Amino acid sequence: MWETLLIAIVGGLLATLGQVATPIVNHVLSKKIKSEERKRDQALQALEALAELDAYVQAMININAWGHDIAPPSSPAWKIRTTVGMHFPDLDAEILQFNLSLVELEKWTIDAGLRRLHGKIDQIKDDFLSAYQPWYLARNSLEDRLVGIAREWDGKA
């Protein structure tokens, strides 16, 4: 008789424990999935801003170096720096290199514009590759890392 009662008590306790633990486990797992989805979304947001930056860089080259009369776009670089800086601290080295190379490329567009304004048309392209290539490499490195993060988190979500 005691044996049957003990089995019933243990069974009841396990059932109660299961009822209490299930919502807690579900909450923890749901919170983890939402966090992973946020990471993926932040990586995608930074990638979108990176694509916008390509158009910005081309516009700045056209405006400053070649004197095209178009409205200058606003730079989306701040979106990239903010998103990556806040959500992906392991990309600090990449974002630093990206920022430095972008500043150098923007400086080149201004210098090329000054050469154009001073009539040195044959010198407009001087040092273009030395400014563009580091930016291009830093941009692609950052893009590759963000794509990897988005894929990693996409697989977990």
pLDDT (tens digit, 9 = 90+) per residue, 19-28? 765 665 554 5
What pLDDT, in 10s, does the model give residues 94-140? 999 999 999 999 999 999 999 999 999 999 999 999 999 999 999 99
Q: Tell me the C-alpha distance between 73 and 112, whole Å.
A: 19
pLDDT of residue 29 exceeding 60 = no
Question: Which residue in the block uniquely carries the two structure tokens 């009841």?
Answer: 12
User: Would you give the DSSP letter of residue 149?
Assistant: H
Residue written as token pair 């306790």: 13
Contact (Cβ atoms closer than 8 angstroms) between residue 148 and residue 98: no
Q: Please, what sign has the CA dihedral across residues 72, 74, 77, 80?
A: negative
How far lies 138's CA from each of 26, 97, 110, in Å?
41, 6, 20
Higher pLDDT, residue 60 or 7? 60
Mean pLDDT to the nearest integer, 47-70 = 95
Output the six-digit token pair for 119: 């009539």
Binned at pLDDT 50, 70 and 90, residue 37 comes out as confident
Q: Given a cut of 90, is residue 92 above it in pLDDT?
A: yes
